Amino acid sequence: MNKAIELKQPAQRKLLFSTGLSWLFDAMDVGIISFIAAALALEWKLSAQQIGLLTAVNSIGMAIGAAVAGALADKYGRRAVLLATLLIFSAASGLSALATSFAVLCVLRFITGFGLGGELPVASTLVSESVPASERGRVVVLLESFWACGWIIAALIAYFVIPHYSWRLAFVIGAVPAVYALYLRRAVRDSPRFMQQSGERLTFGERFASVWSARHRRSTVMLWILWFTVVFSYYGMFLWLPTVMVLKGFGLVKSFQYVLIMTLAQLPGYFTAAYFIEKFGRKFVLVLYLLLTALSALWFGHAETVSSLITAGICLSFFNLGAWGGMYAYTPELYPTGVRSTGVGLAAAFGRIGGVLGPYFVGLMVAQGKQIFSIFMFFFIAVVLGALAVLFLGKETKGSDPDLV
């Protein structure tokens, strides 16, 4: 990478922390809805299919948001789109507290999802473009580690707020990022790579064609398979985790407590992935962590005792979220600056289709009385397919210049 367009260390740390907090708020909102769904199932007498629909609607919004925000970020800049998406999802989250019916809540969760889905690929692109190649993978994985912090906060809110106050207060807390956006507007600048682009921006049609050109087609196919399988399994498993614990015979509060313990394992998962990704490369981290995620899913689905459930859940969190970090670090490195955000956004958008199908699939299976083990077997297969796509179609990008791919 040209040294003239790298941010200095203090600026890198400030960028990582500033965008990381927006990532944390994103994760907090996604995490809260999984706990709220479990509470609403009891309060509003929602069926398993309705819970699946609620989480699916959120993912539909995320899919559309990822594609739209990714395209806009290549035209108007990463920073402007990052701020806009942050405001959209925080405002809609706060308004969700006022929902008086299941239909209204679904509409608000769609809007929330639009902002959430748009913010994530744009933030990872911004950070990836702003740090030197020798640190790029590690820094983006560390950015992803803020997701674990957000889930931990969501679990704490669920444990201490929802049972004693209400799920509505949890949604009000989700509106906090709107205030944070005021700080972010001054703290973050656009990526040096984007700012130094010369000439007119490509149209969306030209960028879409480039993503699917012979130069990038293999990488695009690999990424779309990877994103779909990872998002399908993650949202299918983790958004249902509190409810699955209830189905296994634990009370609501006890289920929240166990999920909080499992969630804590996400942080070391990220940190180990951040270390290995610059030492052994992107493909190594993704394939290894995905395969271990698949095995953990089988174990969790089969576990019956408290100790085995918690241990399997810890392994599931550790390896799955480490893989997520590797995926976010890897994806921007496969496209040049002019189409990078579009490429990342489209891959994330296709992945979010899996996020729609995963939770709804679990709802249907539960409604039909299927065993938890059978459900997790499907997630095992999906994750293994994602690992094989990276192994056979992916190329190593460690230390490479994305504008030369």
pLDDT winner (highest mean) among 1-10, 199-208, 247-256: 199-208
Residue 309, token pair as written in the block: 């459930």
* 200 assigned to some structural domain: no
% of residues, the chain, pLDDT over 70: 95
Write the single-letter amino acid at 155.
A
* 364 assigned to some structural domain: yes
What is the rounded distance in angstroms from the CA atom of residue 297 to the CA atom of residue 401?
A: 36
What is the rounded distance in angstroms from the CA atom of residue 26 to the CA atom of residue 160?
A: 20
pLDDT tens-digit readout, 364-405:
888 788 888 888 999 999 999 999 999 999 999 998 887 765
Structural domain boundaries enclosing 126:
9-183+212-396
pLDDT winner (highest mean) among 83-97, 146-160, 191-205, 285-299: 285-299
* 405 assigned to some structural domain: no
What are the phi and psi torsion angles at 305 (to 5°)?
-80, 160
CATH of the domain at 323: 1.20.1250.20
Q: In this model, does residue 4 exceed pLDDT 50?
A: no
* 204 assigned to some structural domain: no
* 376 assigned to some structural domain: yes
pLDDT tens-digit readout, 303-320:
878 888 889 989 999 999
- How many domains is the chain built from? 1
pLDDT tens-digit readout, 171-230:
888 888 878 877 877 778 888 888 887 667 889 999 999 999 999 999 999 999 999 999
Q: What distances in angstroms separate CA 239 from CA 36, 115, 296, 344, 403, one per listed residue? A: 10, 18, 17, 23, 37
Q: Which residues contact 311 (CB under 8 A, 6 or more apart)?
A: 303
* 1 assigned to some structural domain: no
* 153 assigned to some structural domain: yes
What three-state secondary structure class fits 235? helix
Q: In this model, does residue 137 exceed pLDDT 70?
A: yes
What is the rounded distance in angstroms from the CA atom of residue 80 to the CA atom of residue 183?
A: 13
* 87 assigned to some structural domain: yes
Q: What distances in angstroms separate CA 158 from CA 167, 227, 257, one per listed residue? A: 8, 28, 9
What is the rounded distance in angstroms from the CA atom of residue 237 to the CA atom of residue 215?
A: 35
pLDDT tens-digit readout, 323-345:
999 999 999 999 999 999 999 99
Higher pLDDT, 43 or 200: 43
